[in-house]
Structure 1
């Protein structure tokens, strides 16, 4: 009988604990998305994504750090309990899991600079619990109202109605003319650059994902919108003459229209310099299997004897020969077809001996056009 009442007492204390914690969870402040964005621009805030690592990897608010309440397996376990038992049982199991992580979790949040704001998928129990325990430990923390879902909805709606103000200067040229390298150098010097391939984490070609893990559309959209907002008051932006799709990402129509109506720089480099640029960028010797896999997707489009020569060069590590043949029989013919969409009087030719020379000429042209850096 005593044991029976002891069990009842334990259950009562447990129920009371969870009830009090749930009440506490509602006693902190939310932060609206627009306020978070303003403070993030000012560098006054640390944004903390408390979702699982796989959720964070799939998509996130740019600049956020991942300090998960649950790892992927724990999240799956709690979700299963929620569906098969009850929401109450899932909450209890979730608190049990999270309680073991509290000292390290609180320390990680406390060590971040500035004000702190946490978010989960929709501003639910994970961000509520995280905000509560950190706040109780003496570190004030906010929760993003509506969570990541609110942010994602804002991204989609904003891109659908975006009115891009700056005019576009577009870098065109055969594969290997260093367009990405030029843009990265200009951006490092403070020029307004939309590095679309960097946002997609893909080079925009059949070999574009060699050595990389391409971003999905959600990640691309977030990175793109962040840059567009930053440059909205600038006179112009520089970008590469990309196609509609870059890897897994699709460019919005307004950006394609802006690109097509922009000033078109056409870069020409010597063949040897182009091959050097490609080899430096792709480093195929580090990814031989990925290179062969990519080539297998296009070899039927190339004359059979040449395709066999390219394949053999890739297999034996003769990458210079492989690149040379790919330029002649695949990339250059395709690019020549695409550039014909622009009238000659809309193209500014840049004949250079190196990427550095081309960069210098572009800077001179921008200065001559009296555009502000």
Structure 2
């Protein structure tokens, strides 16, 4: 009988994780790094569920066995190839029949295999427990600034410097504004986002602080855990600023990396601003973009839409413990690191 292993023990084993849930379950959320080798596909799982409700567990198990049996040899070969000699940890929804059956066959075939105790359900509980308990003790340092000041660039430079920073926009696949989806892939599910965030923050539990770009609770369709938002509200605040010209050029560079598809998405997003900016101004911006006057279009968006919306100062302000003119993201990141090293040491 395959042994069970807890989630906390996985890092010590360095195994290959195999998620035997259906493709839809896997896409909704999974343990990062896990490979999906489904015992039942989405349609098969639904069919087994119907038989279970109408005729009971015995007939549902027999149907599942008939579905799985022809696939077993190929599944075993797939898992052996993925494992490449490493131990295997198999999990399903709650550590039940699906993971037990495939782990048993792997064990018979001489493969070193474990079952994840409690399956995905228990892993998910650990994620939610982390946000309920551990996040309350995190000192958050918020990076504030108007659109185009380069906040995300600074966060990424901080990460390059191995500072305790987390790129929320990268985890959410969204830049947090009406144009935030442009040029990016679709956003993860809420559960998948929380899993990404859990891994990012859990790696910083021994750090003296966590540096984040200041965001509202909503990033696109996703929500930050309420405990993290509260930690951000009570944290330290740093402001970065820059000239309108530099900010506009940053926006153009950021939003035009994906070519014509990006421009089409921009036109669509602009159409949603007609109530706020008026039809004439939206058409004017769209015409500028069509004619290639991208920097001028960005300036107009900044002065008439973004700046009134976010209301951050674009110059030093006594409301922030540190204010930096962000001409160079790497230098700004170094200044922040130096400042935090001194202030946190004194505290």
How high is the TM-score relative to the length of structure 1?
Answer: 0.81
Alignment CA distance shift 1:109-1:69 (3 Å)? same
How far residue 60 of structure 1 moved from its aligned partner, in angstroms, is: 1.4
Alignment-derived partner of residue 318 in structure 2? 344
Separation of aligned partners in 2, 1:363 and 1:70: 50
Alignment CA distance shift 1:352-1:179 (3 Å)? closer
Structure 2 regions of 5+ residues with no counterpart?
Answer: none
Alignment-derived partner of residue 61 in structure 2? 91
Structural mapping, 1:110-121, within 5 Å:
110=80, 111-112=82-83, 114-121=86-93
Please say if 1:161 is aligned against 2:164.
no
Please say if 1:148 is aligned against 2:123.
no
Alignment-derived partner of residue 233 in structure 1? 206
1:185 to 136, 146, 157: 157
Separation of aligned partners in 2, 1:275 and 1:129: 58
Alignment-derived partner of residue 110 in structure 2? 138
Secondary structure at the counterpart of residue 161 of structure 1: helix
Alignment-derived partner of residue 50 in structure 2? 80
Please say if 1:277 is aligned against 2:250.
yes
Alignment-derived partner of residue 286 in structure 2? 311
Structural mapping, 1:101-112, within 5 Å:
101-110=71-80, 111-112=82-83
Alignment-derived partner of residue 6 in structure 1? none
Say whether the 8 Å CA contact 1:200–1:248 is kept in structure 2.
Answer: no
Say whether the 8 Å CA contact 2:174–2:219 is kept in structure 1.
Answer: yes
Moved more, 44-53 or 316-325: 316-325
Moved more, 83-92 or 168-177: 83-92
Separation of aligned partners in 1, 2:93 and 2:291: 48
Alignment-derived partner of residue 14 in structure 2? 44
Q: CA RMSD in A?
A: 2.7
2:36 to 26, 50, 66: 66
Alignment-derived partner of residue 10 in structure 1? none
How far residue 315 of structure 1 moved from its aligned partner, in angstroms, is: 5.2
Separation of aligned partners in 1, 2:105 and 2:293: 59
Deviations for 1:298-334, whole angstroms, at most 9, x for unmatched residues? Answer: 2211133212212334556654343222111110111
Secondary structure at the counterpart of residue 346 of structure 1: coil
Separation of aligned partners in 1, 2:96 and 2:244: 57
1:288 to 238, 241, 263: 263
Separation of aligned partners in 1, 2:330 and 2:246: 11
Structural mapping, 1:253-264, within 5 Å:
253-264=226-237
Deviations for 1:180-229, whole angstroms, at most 9, x for unmatched residues? Answer: 12212221331111222222222111111222211222112222222222
Deviations for 1:265-310, whole angstroms, at most 9, x for unmatched residues? Answer: 2111233332232233232633333323322322211133212212
* Greater RCO structure (CA 8 Å; 6+ sep): 2
Secondary structure at the counterpart of residue 231 of structure 1: coil
Aligned residues: 340
Separation of aligned partners in 2, 1:71 and 1:339: 53
2:192 to 213, 219, 240: 219
How high is the TM-score relative to the length of structure 2?
Answer: 0.87
Structure 1 regions of 5+ residues with no counterpart?
Answer: 1-26
Separation of aligned partners in 2, 1:58 and 1:230: 23
Say whether the 8 Å CA contact 1:200–1:216 is kept in structure 2.
Answer: no
How far residue 258 of structure 1 moved from its aligned partner, in angstroms, is: 2.4
Secondary structure at the counterpart of residue 153 of structure 1: helix
